[in-house]
Amino acid sequence: MQNQLQGLRTSLWILSLLLSTSLVACSERLSSPTAEPDPSTAQEQTGGVVALTSLTADMIYQLDQTKLVGRPGSRLIDQDPRFQDIPAVSQGRTPPNLEQVVALKPQLVVGAAGFHDQVLKKLEDLGIATLATDIDNWQSMIDLTETLATKIQADPAPLLTRYQVCETQPSDPKPTTLVLVSQQPILAPNKTSWAGDLLQRFGAKNLVADLQGDSPVGGYVTLSAEKVLAANPEVMLVVDPEKNALESFKTAPFWNQLSATQNNQVYPFDYYGLVNPGSIDKILQTCSQLKQALQ
């Protein structure tokens, strides 16, 4: 019972993260004011960048650490010594502090489309350029890296070279695969999600790649226990951020009937890297794990 309660809490936590970050179709846009800003409110620009997501903060820092003047408060980077002296303008999923962002006098503020829209609009009204991004496939991350490099006049080549650990040309047949993101409800990513795109890159036969469903989260489908049994994957990847989701899944009646469990082909993955890109290190770690799991 305790494992089931822990699994439910983990599923609700993951589901709330998925909903709050609005994993929608990839888009990039550079927004400029539609009218001349009031000179009394327009901010003097310093050339710095405030990043409102952990991934874009990481990108900016690695492209040119001198350009990052503000960052989000996130468990992914709060303990990272690289970011200790850079002010945090938000914490967790709370909206950024607009006054604190403006006080940093940035030339550019980078946020997440669908999550930071209101803040970005207010900043535009003050004459501060903004960039709203959504990353739901590998190409969108490459494009964003090059876009940010252009905007801060940095060379993207060293960072793009780091990404090569995720560059793969799978030749051998790969096992049938299912990613389980939460247990209640059972959610699995199709090919239009970040996770689904990574699976496709590594040649995995994602059993729900082409399925569409009524899941409240774009890029994910809701599965019943019967559908999981019918799919019967050879490999299962379980998102297990708090180290109890996998234990909770093991109590499900269908669990021991699956080929993946019978052959010990079940692999725990962190939420960051596989479901939410999170940071460059998390993405690269996930790619290394995928190579091992799908070999």
Candidate from 18-22, 120-124, 282-286 with smallest mean pLDDT: 18-22
Q: Indicate the length of the chain as a whole number.
A: 295
Residue 8 has pLDDT above 50, yes or no: no
Give the DSSP H or E segment for 201: helix 194-201
User: 243-252 pLDDT, tens per residue?
Assistant: 677 888 888 9
Residue with tokens 């609700």: 12
What confidence score (pLDDT) does residue 40 get? 39
The answer to whether residues 46 and 287 touch, using CB atoms and an 8 Å cutoff, is no
What confidence score (pLDDT) does residue 167 get? 81
What confidence score (pLDDT) does residue 231 get? 95
With CA atoms as reference, report the closest residue to 52 among 41, 29, 31, 68: 68
Domains in the chain: ranges and CATH: 28-165 (3.40.50.1980), 169-293 (3.40.50.1980)
With CA atoms as reference, report the closest residue to 129 among 27, 30, 48, 29: 30
Give the separation between CA 261 and CA 264, rounded to whole angstroms: 5
The answer to whether residues 208 and 188 touch, using CB atoms and an 8 Å cutoff, is yes
Give the separation between CA 156 and CA 92, rounded to whole angstroms: 28
Q: Which residues contact 187 (CB under 8 A, 6 or more apart)?
A: 14, 15, 18, 180, 181, 215, 217, 220, 221, 222, 223
What confidence score (pLDDT) does residue 157 get? 97
The answer to whether residues 24 and 135 touch, using CB atoms and an 8 Å cutoff, is no
